[in-house]
Structure 1
């Protein structure tokens, strides 16, 4: 057994792991909890992709699932390359505007205390990287059904670097200017939702509306191709939110984390019911499933900046108010004539703003103190007679919106003028569908007349049976039949 005689430090890697037990300063329960919470947040990214895929048309459905896995991959690399350093370096530039590159390529990211204090840098980097991924997949939803995929990847890398990282640094780095001002953001109302929602709005604006000869004015509107996928995507997203996104943001395994989990679930439930009842009167007296799912997402968005600060009764109000506000905001795309087909702006941009302001009203010092000795005291909001807190929240909202909209627009306009980074599909490609034009694979292989692999018979490879369509229609299209019967036979034989 090794002799550990060194003393962990607060700088660099935290010490030499050969002679220093770097685990000593940390509670292992806290570390285990943050690791599990981060894994739950990871699940939200493919969950959002599944939700988006269900809301889209069939010929674009795979591209949105593709976007979720692409986002995980691109943002993971960006976060390792310089994203974490730009947000959570132990010192900042520009009076808390942006971090330095002192942790570039995860240099020295190991056992020293992170910005959270309760867990080491390497674990905190893991957890916070998931939030960057969620922001990325939400934002690319603004490109629904008309964006070229390679420029999307380039734009995503630049968006997370130039738009998300500064906002996250302002908000969550202890030296960030919004943090020192006193703005409260528990789990990402500004950096994740306001940022992604407004980024998606600008993406949709610059791409232009989808081609639809039947829609002469306004924006096209299509039915979701798979409500089942919408429900499954909502389930993945909801469990990720209550299992990691919000309770993990406590940074420790304390009562505050568990309290925020319940407040998150409560707000989502109230949001789901609110949206469903509103749609009942707006949608021909139908209890819409998509409305139920949309309301749950809006409630989750609204409670995100507030979950670790507000009492449970306030979670009910936040869920109801956010769902009602987001439901009405869906109509804004017709007023603005911006084709945000997945309503990312209405749910996340507007919902994040509502939640951030309501945090300033309902934040309570005694809820924050549930973290015990690991808590950082706050003055609370209006219910603690700290009336200027709403002003701080509005300052954070306005700064986030301004930075996101201006910088996102500049990035997209520049990229679109580079020939090989043209943002939008050509009209004929869009009509064909993103899946066929850009990926060459499909969510549903309905038009396939035979199974191409493995090919065991040369005669089958050259000429499928003449009555193959009948076989498929009657359900007798197993791979063994299609690959071993070179002669024409009756479909009902």
Structure 2
């Protein structure tokens, strides 16, 4: 290092990647404000547990015979989409020479993505932070295939969906050349690209797959503990999902974290209260978890724009609306049993519209540069911009997803639905070698031993024999 004549100025001879590290000190532009980099690096690491958290949540909500597949998908989706993001996902979304609808291949394979400053961050850090947004979105969306979607085709669909659906919508919303960005619609951390897109696409996935063979039989979540732990991971990661979306360590980032937490909290209250009156004074741990997630969904587009009181209201209202629409997929006669459409699609729509109402420039300006007023701040037209955002993203995500799935459905080897006997037997038993969620084989073995000792099998308080096969 001492043999080089370090120049603390960004080398403009190589503007695409931040300078030649053999000639200039590419770290110098960040030295004065390095705490911004440290903050976003920490947020990136904390965001990642959202991905297995969704796997745990989905695995607990599903029946045991299809639970392992959802855990497997959480890792395989992460691997597949990280590869997609590296090859061309990032450049299609954030290329500086993008058009209003999609980027180009300027940064294909992350070419020239290194130390170029993106605000206070080197571009490579910005790229990996945004990668996990794409991964989490696809992992949310994949829940539409509950219990009857084939695993390998689901990964192929994930790769195509990230390219054809997520990247264009994220480009519209967050690239400075995007048409929604310049409208402008307000989307702080993904109400449209993450939640509305995944919710609408999960609905399309369920529609094209068709109904489950055993849908008429009501099944409870097989493992509420998994649901609870998955929700905890998601809540934990979402604090930095939203807190890091300012892309700096300003007061606005801290405000967004508080808004995220209070919205999740009031979301629990909204869902539990709605459930209490709908279900004759009974409570539900799963309902409380769904309320927290609904609150997180609702605040995602708003976290860096609204005051705390508005964040609390957004969380409560989003959860209450979603809880009130508990049977919405039955009303439209589509078997989307993981409630992705209800929680993320409808929740994202509610949150996006409420963002247009409650956004206040006093909050957005806490980062020193972002002036984003909403209706309560004298900018009523923002509601119309938010509606344009909601309608365009909903229509594109649903239509594009349905087309991709219909095409795949008739391609040999890529049939998206498992055979009937596999669905009834359970995808886990068909796809995995000698593995089960919770090691239930040992539980059954212990039960058989107890039976041979003339000890009665476990029973419910009502005297019914517990059935561990469901």
What TM-score do the two structures reach when normalised by structure 1?
0.88
Match of 1:20?
24
1:229 pairs with one of 226, 229, 239: 226
1:438 pairs with one of 425, 431, 436: 431
Q: How far apart, in 2, do the equivalents of 1:265 and 1:351 lie?
A: 16
Counterpart check, 1:97 vs 2:101 = yes
* SS of equivalent residue, structure 1 residue 181: coil
Counterpart check, 1:167 vs 2:204 = no
Counterpart check, 1:241 vs 2:238 = yes
1:407 pairs with one of 392, 400, 405: 400
Runs of 4+ in 1 over 3 A off after TM superposition: 447-451, 471-474
* Distance change in 2, residues 1:473/1:386 (3 Å): farther
Counterpart check, 1:388 vs 2:381 = yes
Q: How far apart, in 1, do the equivalents of 2:452 and 2:279 lie?
A: 36
The answer to whether the Cα contact below 8 Å between 1:276 and 1:287 also exists between their aligned partners in 2 is: yes
Q: How far apart, in 1, do the equivalents of 2:87 and 2:147 lie?
A: 30
1:61 pairs with one of 61, 64, 67: 67
Aligned residue-pair number:
446
Match of 2:306?
310
Matching of residues 426-465 of structure 1 within 5 Å: 426-440=419-433, 441-447=435-441
* Distance change in 2, residues 1:287/1:25 (3 Å): same
TM superposition shift of 1:330:
2.5
Q: How far apart, in 1, do the equivalents of 2:247 and 2:226 lie?
A: 32
Matching of residues 146-161 of structure 1 within 5 Å: 146-161=148-163
TM superposition shift of 1:471:
8.3
CA RMSD of aligned residues (A): 1.9
2:258 pairs with one of 262, 266, 277: 262
Matching of residues 86-235 of structure 1 within 5 Å: 86-93=92-99, 96-114=100-118, 117-212=119-214, 215=216, 220-235=217-232
* Distance change in 2, residues 1:473/1:326 (3 Å): farther
Q: Encode CA deviations 1:125-183: one digit per residue, 9 max, x unaligned.
A: 01000000110100000001100001001000000000000000000011111001111
* Distance change in 2, residues 1:468/1:145 (3 Å): closer
Match of 2:50?
44
Match of 2:457?
none
The answer to whether the Cα contact below 8 Å between 1:88 and 1:99 also exists between their aligned partners in 2 is: yes
The answer to whether the Cα contact below 8 Å between 1:181 and 1:392 also exists between their aligned partners in 2 is: yes
Q: Encode CA deviations 1:332-358: one digit per residue, 9 max, x unaligned.
A: 101111111110000000000000000
The answer to whether the Cα contact below 8 Å between 1:195 and 1:349 also exists between their aligned partners in 2 is: yes
Match of 2:458?
none
Q: How far apart, in 1, do the equivalents of 2:144 and 2:415 lie?
A: 16
The answer to whether the Cα contact below 8 Å between 1:22 and 1:111 also exists between their aligned partners in 2 is: yes
Match of 2:286?
290
* Distance change in 2, residues 1:286/1:110 (3 Å): same
TM superposition shift of 1:468:
11
TM superposition shift of 1:201:
0.5
Matching of residues 475-486 of structure 1 within 5 Å: none
The answer to whether the Cα contact below 8 Å between 2:11 and 2:20 also exists between their aligned partners in 1 is: no
Q: How far apart, in 2, do the equivalents of 1:229 and 1:445 lie?
A: 14
TM superposition shift of 1:241:
0.6
* Distance change in 2, residues 1:317/1:471 (3 Å): closer
Q: How far apart, in 1, do the equivalents of 2:161 and 2:63 lie?
A: 26
Q: How far apart, in 1, do the equivalents of 2:259 and 2:16 lie?
A: 37
Match of 1:251?
247
The answer to whether the Cα contact below 8 Å between 1:6 and 1:15 also exists between their aligned partners in 2 is: no
1:376 pairs with one of 367, 370, 373: 370
Counterpart check, 1:85 vs 2:85 = no
* SS of equivalent residue, structure 1 residue 231: helix
TM superposition shift of 1:281:
1.6
The answer to whether the Cα contact below 8 Å between 2:274 and 2:324 also exists between their aligned partners in 1 is: no
TM superposition shift of 1:450:
11
The answer to whether the Cα contact below 8 Å between 2:9 and 2:29 also exists between their aligned partners in 1 is: no
TM superposition shift of 1:9:
4.4
1:331 pairs with one of 299, 305, 327: 327
Q: Encode CA deviations 1:160-219: one digit per residue, 9 max, x unaligned.
A: 000000000000011111001111100000000000000100001111111128x2xxxx
Q: Encode CA deviations 1:54-90: one digit per residue, 9 max, x unaligned.
A: 1000111111111110111001000001000000111
Counterpart check, 1:344 vs 2:340 = yes
* Distance change in 2, residues 1:450/1:233 (3 Å): closer
Q: How far apart, in 2, do the equivalents of 1:472 and 1:107 lie?
A: 64
Q: How far apart, in 2, do the equivalents of 1:149 and 1:438 lie?
A: 8
The answer to whether the Cα contact below 8 Å between 1:305 and 1:356 also exists between their aligned partners in 2 is: yes
TM superposition shift of 1:472:
10
TM superposition shift of 1:444:
3.2
The answer to whether the Cα contact below 8 Å between 1:6 and 1:19 also exists between their aligned partners in 2 is: no
Q: Encode CA deviations 1:35-58: one digit per residue, 9 max, x unaligned.
A: 111111111000011000110001
